[in-house]
Structure 1
């Protein structure tokens, strides 16, 4: 079935091709088509005649990996390349940046989103300072920060995590398995958010605006699981915030010392 309509995200998300393949021409952008297969796969294509009058079709991306806005920009670029400049093939598409976002850029995107509900993602000393969770991720995965995140595999993250050495040994330890474990736990939901993965981020609008095909860290070994040096009683100093929580409970008198009708003292 073919038709011409003004494409919107709501329309694209609601389309089902139960009776056969559907092709919709965007009423706003010349040559832009949305194709929906019987299986539900949705992709954008540009169909147009080049300067020589030859009709051609160019597939430019899959929805929602490529957003409607980006598809329109690419379609306009292709039309300029082929109709105005007379190129036989369009240049590298404008959507190429979608596949080149680095791990560092992804952290830039997710920090203000997670900071709304997660204290560890909030800058500790004001807007210009860093967050504890991000610092931990960047220390452990420093070799991967400026690489395209969609090209990083679970094996890449595993090698970086299990090969990490502490900047300075703490209390005589020569490993940083505890820090690596925390970095994995902090980064895993970031990648799930980017990939619209898991119960928390698979609903429309809960994850990143444009989904990325990124690795899943559940396959990566956590070195802290078999490190005997970080088992047992933890050494920790209570913070002022902890004291505020515990102090009121520690001053409540015992019922036997202050008898009430419900708890009479024993004679």
Structure 2
């Protein structure tokens, strides 16, 4: 143990490789503890009248100033001289402080609400649903861990939540619901990481302002990881015969044979699905698309927001094939379009909906089954791969945030390539790929003009 007359300059400059205690020569009994992490705390140590050492915590520097620490040390020394046991007093005060802090620890429901407001708003899964009953993530968590809602998060144990996951049974009566449990676990895990300021939330200012000692949910077993019924990767694309039956139905006005309750002249959902096939876009991107996003002169679709699981929000400027541009120009609202108007609106001018109903009708009429709207995006990507489009170009069309570890490009390259620049004598590889994609659909629809055995 060393001694010195402590000053603020010295305290801030101290660097140690192991815990070090320094006694202040100016105030008897005042001690500074310095840790390798950079943490510095004031404490008090002195022998009482019975020659036994008495210790007391004073506080953490710089929350407690040096002048304040010296004043408290002086007061503690006077109490020791008067025969008081300041160690017992300090322990009693620490216990009271701990009990007071416990009353401020949020329960599970409260910490989820905090996370949703602080971080979750960046992700669609944490947005309020149309039913107004909380976000999709919150509902998944509540389904599995709902009875833990009033429990303080610091009192939750790995065993408790693991038992909840193992014992969860859905209301439907299914024997297992590993997919539901896996989602609940996946959505709750970052909530705990944010609360504890760990992993990707470890940077100061990104995690919770007051960290909490909560469990790491990734230390529990994910029941979906060894469930043979959950593959984790969907491998469904429509084949040539399915597309041949489906494409003639993806037109406007909507075919009468679909039997929809709305007039065929106002139902643009079928042709909207054709647009998904032509662009490999996500359904929510199409639903949000506005006429101002269609840069007709350049034949581009500017997406202000594309899906981003992590990191900052991203944009995309997608070149459109001639077929996609012609489709947009054929829409009933093209002539009277307003910049802020939806490209694919419903009868009331709002976002399209009832996708399950139109999908079921299309499957019934085309004799196809087992595909979802997102499988149209997967179909487009698969066809582009079949016609020898590079995986890098397909990634760009899909607006995937591709990594660079396995590519012969630097991480900094993206900072030097401007996506807006186009040269009229150089064909964009994305546009070329989407033109080839449109050609494949045209050949499938018109087999007489292009015999099946002709190479694409």
Change in Cα spacing, 1:97 to 1:118, as seen in structure 2 (3 Å) is farther
Going by fraction, where is helix more abundant, 1 or 2?
Answer: 2
1:216 maps to 216
Q: Is the 8 A contact 2:156 2:215 kept in 1?
A: yes
Tell me how far apart the structure 2 counterparts of residues 212 and 226 of structure 1 sit (CA, whole Å): 32
Match of residue 287, structure 2, among 230, 244, 254: 244
Deviation of 1:136 (Å): 1.6
1:28 maps to none
Q: Is the 8 A contact 1:123 1:131 kept in 2?
A: yes
Match of residue 57, structure 1, among 39, 55, 58: 55
Structure 2 length normalisation: TM-score? 0.38
Q: Is the 8 A contact 2:43 2:59 kept in 1?
A: no
Q: Is the 8 A contact 2:42 2:58 kept in 1?
A: yes
Q: Is the 8 A contact 1:34 1:43 kept in 2?
A: yes
2:176 maps to 175
2:329 maps to none
Q: Is the 8 A contact 1:48 1:57 kept in 2?
A: yes
Structure 1 length normalisation: TM-score? 0.60
Change in Cα spacing, 1:106 to 1:21, as seen in structure 2 (3 Å) is same
2:167 maps to 163
Change in Cα spacing, 1:210 to 1:102, as seen in structure 2 (3 Å) is same
Change in Cα spacing, 1:104 to 1:20, as seen in structure 2 (3 Å) is closer
Deviation of 1:181 (Å): 0.5
Q: Is the 8 A contact 1:140 1:160 kept in 2?
A: yes
Deviation of 1:45 (Å): 5.2
Tell me how far apart the structure 1 counterparts of residues 114 and 197 of structure 2 sit (CA, whole Å): 15
Matched, 1:103 2:108: yes
Matched, 1:94 2:104: no
1:57 is paired with a residue whose SS is: strand
Deviation of 1:184 (Å): 0.7
Match of residue 36, structure 1, among 34, 37, 46: 34
Question: Which aligned pairs between 1:67-82 and structure 2 lie closer than 5 A?
Answer: 68=63
Change in Cα spacing, 1:15 to 1:215, as seen in structure 2 (3 Å) is farther
Match of residue 121, structure 1, among 121, 126, 131: 126
Deviation of 1:120 (Å): 1.9
Q: Which has the larger radius of gyration?
A: 2
In structure 1, list runs of 5 or more residues that go unmatched: 26-30, 258-267
Change in Cα spacing, 1:149 to 1:23, as seen in structure 2 (3 Å) is farther
What is the CA deviation profile of residues 195-253 of structure 1, one whole-angstrom value per residue up to 9, with x for unaligned ones? 2222x222222222222222222221112223344448599xx996254389x869527
Change in Cα spacing, 1:112 to 1:47, as seen in structure 2 (3 Å) is same
1:211 is paired with a residue whose SS is: coil
1:141 is paired with a residue whose SS is: helix
Q: Is the 8 A contact 2:169 2:177 kept in 1?
A: yes
